[in-house]
Structures are given as C-alpha cells and as structure tokens.
Amino acid sequence: MRFVKYMTAPILMAALCSFWGCDKDEDHLSEAVLASANTLNFEAERAAEKIITIYADADWVTEVPDWVTVTPNSGTGVMDVTVSVTDNMRDGAEDNPRKATLVFKGRTLASRAQVLITQNGDKYRDVKEYTAGELAALADETVISVPSAIVVAVTTKGFVISDDKNTDNIFVSDATTVAVGDKISLLGTKSSDSQKLATVIDCDEVTVLSDGAVNYPEPEDISAKIDDYTSSKRGYVTVKGVFNGSTLTVSENAKYSVSVVDAPASLGLSALTGHIVTVTGYYAGLAEPVQRIMATDVEDNGLNEIVYFLENFEWLEPWSVASGVGQTVETDNLDAKATALTSITVDGVTAFDAVEKLGYTRWLN
C-alpha cells in the first residue's frame, strides 16, 4: 500500500505531461531571444539565401513556415542561421506574393523573436475585378482591378473616383495626371486611410480611357451641424464660412473649422483670404478640431465686411478726457462722428488723425 502511495505522484505527472505535451527540454530554453532582422524579402525564383544572427542566453528553437528553411533550426546562445525559400511558382508561372512569420522561441511568449518573411510574385495573377462602389467593403490589402471608374475630384496628392451612380467615392493615392471627368482603369491594393471612414487605393497602374463630364449629386449642407457631423463614407457635402488662408470658419461659436485638403492651385484659394466662400466637395474625415473636405468647387461670396477689433482702445483715453463728455463718438450720425473726432485735440493731434493713423477709419464708413 505504501508503494502505491509513493508511485502515484510520478505516474500522475507523467500522465499530465503526456496530455499537455510537456517538453523535458523547456527548462533549458532561453529567457530572452532576439534576431538581427525583423523582415526578410526574397525574389520569386532562385532567391539567394540570407544570414541573420540570433541572440539568446540559452537554448532556442524555431517555428518555420513550410516554404521556408532555417539552418540550423535550433541552437544555443548567439548563432548565425541561414534562411532560404522555395521558388514561388504555380503551373510553371510565378504565383501571388506570399508572406509568413518565422519564430525563434525561448521559454515564454515574451522570449521569442519574430521575422516576417515575404516573397515576390505576380501580384495580379487571378486578380478579381471590382467596381468603385464595391471597394469600401473589401478587406485591407486586397489586390484589386477596377476596369472603369470616373474621376470626380483632383487633389495635389491624388484623386477621387466614383462609380456611375456617384454613391461610393474612393480616394486614389497616385501621381498620375488625370482630370475631373476622366474615365480610368486601375490596378492597386485596397487600404484604409487614417480617418478610417473611406478607402485609399495604393496604385501600381492608372490608365486614362477617355474624358468626359461629371454629374454631381445634390450636396449635403453641413454648415449648421459642423460640430456634430460625421460620416463613414466620402459623401458629397457643402459648407459656407469665412476663409482665413488655411481654414474656413463657419461660425464664431463653432468648435470645429473646415480645411480644404490638398487643394490644387486651380481652385484659387490663395486669393480668397478674408472672403466668405462656399466650399463643395467630398468629405475627408475629422482631424480634431478640423473637418476635412476634398473640394470640387469654391464659390466666392465676396469680402467679409465685419471688422473685429482686437483691442480695447485705451489709447483713445486722452482724447476722451479732453472732450469732456462720456461718449467719445456718437453712433447714429457719421458726420457727427467725424466732426467730434476732429474737434478733440491733445498735444496738437486730433482724435480723427489718431484713428486714421492706426488704420481704424474704416469703422466710420
């Protein structure tokens, strides 16, 4: 009976290790593992081997993708290893690019080094065709072909495309010269922009098929809801406010202003500082405290006539005292204003001259 008692623990441990996959060598694995490279890239065919260094304080082992070979695939301490790949071929031709993670493991999840292995190939082999309206729903890094789309806006960093219905509007990051109304085809990769509301295509090829015109939908006016507006799409919007050289101020009380993103010189914004303008274009997201728009049109509504004084006019106090009255300038008669200012003199300088010298005579008109 005593024999059974002393043998139970070892037998139980052996059974548990068999069940859980215990490794008798795990106690010897490293507490820290590092690799001299985070990524390795290989050509599709006849790729040269690459050597990296593994740094560890004890033993390490590897997890290797089936198309990658690591020699040696385990070791102790600091060692150089050789990484090679098989040819990336299918039916005698280059297959799609591929990638996988090579792992050098120590004892714990924290003591492991990961190396991303990528291999070139034919990116557009078996590529699927999509309309512009289908792109937003695709997963990032999806390789796409768009046989036909319409350019609806142009910026200094790319352009916006849409389908025939002008419902889903996609920004294309590309330096190809296109014009509004052009019908194009493209090859690229779908990704999401920093606003996570729209889609960006990193292009490899853009072809202009023909030119034409755009039938824009009725824009949504967001002027009255500038602080609350949000959208998951690049909708067609319009907003009115005072342009100050970089942003549009919709209201003195608004928390957010509007920025025209990467505006081309053809919009003429550089000449509109101080003007009331209406900007129409495609919504490009919120980067607090700025709502962003990719403009298709800017309407000049004229110079903003409101004059804002940024001081309290304390410098007028000597003339106010000299006048002997409590109100320096009346507000109901322009001639009375000028007469009053001219008649008040301090040290030979009239109040009118002082106002004029400092550029404030506009408020008399």
Mean pLDDT of 240-259: 93
Mean pLDDT of 72-77: 96
- Model confidence over 176-223: pLDDT tens digits? 999 999 999 999 999 988 777 668 888 999 999 999 999 999 999 999
Give the range among 12-21, 191-200, 241-250 with minimum mean pLDDT.
12-21
E strands present in 182-315: 183-192, 199-210, 220-221, 236-243, 247-249, 257-260, 275-287, 290-303
User: 353 or 192, which is more confident?
Assistant: 192
- Return the percent helix, strand and coil in the chain, to nearest 5: 20, 40, 40
Of 39-53, 110-124, 137-151, 331-345, least confident by mean pLDDT is 331-345
Token pair for residue 298? 């800017």
Which pLDDT band, with edges at 50, 70 and 90, does 27 fall under?
low
The confidence score (pLDDT) of residue 243 equals 95
The pLDDT value recorded for residue 269 is 92
pLDDT for 297 beyond 90:
yes
Q: Which of 117, 118, 120, 147 shows the shortest CA–CA distance to 132? A: 147
The single-letter DSSP state of residue 308 is: -
Once rounded to an integer, what is the mean pLDDT over residues 3-24?
A: 40
> Nearest Cα to 282, choosing from 158, 144, 177?
158
CA 104 to chain centre: 34
- Residue 168's pLDDT band (boundaries 50, 70, 90)? confident
- 319 burial level (CB within 10 Å; 0-12, 13-18, 19+): buried
Confirm whether pTM is higher than 0.85: no
pLDDT band at 165 (very low <50, low <70, confident <90, very high): confident
Mean pLDDT for all residues in the chain: 84
pLDDT category of residue 333 using cuts at 50, 70 and 90:
low
Answer left, alpha or beta for residue 46, where phi above 0 means left and psi between -120 and 50 means alpha.
left
The secondary element (H helix, E strand) that includes residue 138 is: none
More confident residue, 336 or 217: 217
The pLDDT assigned to 110 comes to 85
pLDDT score of 161: 96
